[in-house]
Structure 1
Amino acid sequence: MVISTVIIVLCLVAFAAIHSFMASLKFKRAIIKALGPRAEKLYLPVYSLIAVLMILPVVYLLYRYPGQVLYVVPYPWFWLMVTGQAIAAVIAPRAFMDAPQRFRILSQLSVSGTPEAGELKIRGIYRWVRDPFLLSGLVILWLTPFMTVNLLVLYIFASIYLYIGSLHWESRLVSQFGDKYIQYQKEVRRIIPGRGYKGDVSNF
Structure 2
Amino acid sequence: MRTTIKIGIATLAFAAVHSALATRSAKRVAAQWLGETRRDAGYRVFFVVQSLAGFSALLAYGARLPTVTLYRIDGPGALVLRLGQAAGVAYLLHGLKQAGVAQWSGVANLQAWKRGLPLPPGPAAQGPELKQDGRLGISGPFLHSRHPLNFAGIPIFWLTPHMTTRRLAFNLVSTVYFVLGSRHEEIRLRDAYGELYRQYADGPVPFFVPGAARLPAPARGNREGAGNRETPLPAGQ
Q: What's the TM-score, normalizing by structure 2?
A: 0.71
Match of 1:112 in 2: none
Partner secondary structure for residue 163 of structure 2: strand
Amino acid at match of 2:29: A
1:63 alignment counterpart: 63
Offset, 1:93:
3.1
Following superposition, the deviation at residue 41 of structure 1 comes to: 4.5
Aligned to 2:208: 191
The one of 185, 191, 195 equivalent to 1:169 is: 185
Tell me the SS of whatever aligns to 1:194.
Answer: coil
Partner Cα distance (1:176, 1:36) in 2: 18
2:26 maps to which residue? 27
Aligned residues of 1:66 and 1:149 also touching (Cα < 8 A): no
Q: Which has the higher contact order (CA 8 A, sep 6+)?
A: 1
2:6 equivalent to 1:4: no
The answer to whether the 8 Å contact 2:21/2:27 transfers is yes
Could you tell me how far apart the structure 2 residues matched to 1:45 and 1:156 are?
28
Shift of 1:78: 0.8
How far, CA to CA, are the matches of 2:53 and 2:104 in structure 1?
25
Is 143-152 or 178-187 further displaced after alignment? 178-187
CA deviation string 1:41-87 (max 9, x = no partner): 43333222212322334323432334211001121121221122122
Unaligned runs of 5+ in 2: 106-119, 126-131, 220-237
**8 Å contact from structure 2 (residues 151, 178) kept in 1:** no
Normalised to the residue count of structure 1, the TM-score between the two structures is: 0.81
Q: Is the 8 A contact 2:68 2:164 kept in 1?
A: yes
Contact 2:147/2:207, CA 8 A, preserved across alignment: yes
Q: Secondary structure at the match of 1:70?
A: strand
How far off is 1:15 after superposition?
Answer: 1.2
Fraction of identical pairs, as percent: 27
1:182 aligned onto 2:182: no
SS at 2:70's partner residue? strand
Distance 1:79 1:166 in 2: 30
Kindly indicate whether the alpha-carbon contact (under 8 Å) linking 1:123 and 1:201 is maintained by their aligned counterparts in 2. Answer: no
Query: What secondary structure does 2:187 align onto?
Result: helix
RMSD: 2.7
* CA offset digits 1:96-143 (Å, max 9, x no partner): 33134778765639xxxxxx9x54231222112211112211111111
Q: CA deviation at 1:39?
A: 3.5
Matched residue count: 194
State the Cα distance separating 1:150 from its structure 2 match. Answer: 1.6
Q: Distance in 2 between matches of 1:93 and 1:42?
A: 23
Q: Which residue of 1 aligns with 2:92?
A: 92
CA distance in 2, matches of 1:92, 1:45: 19
Using the TM superposition, name which of 147-156 and 87-96 deviates more: 87-96
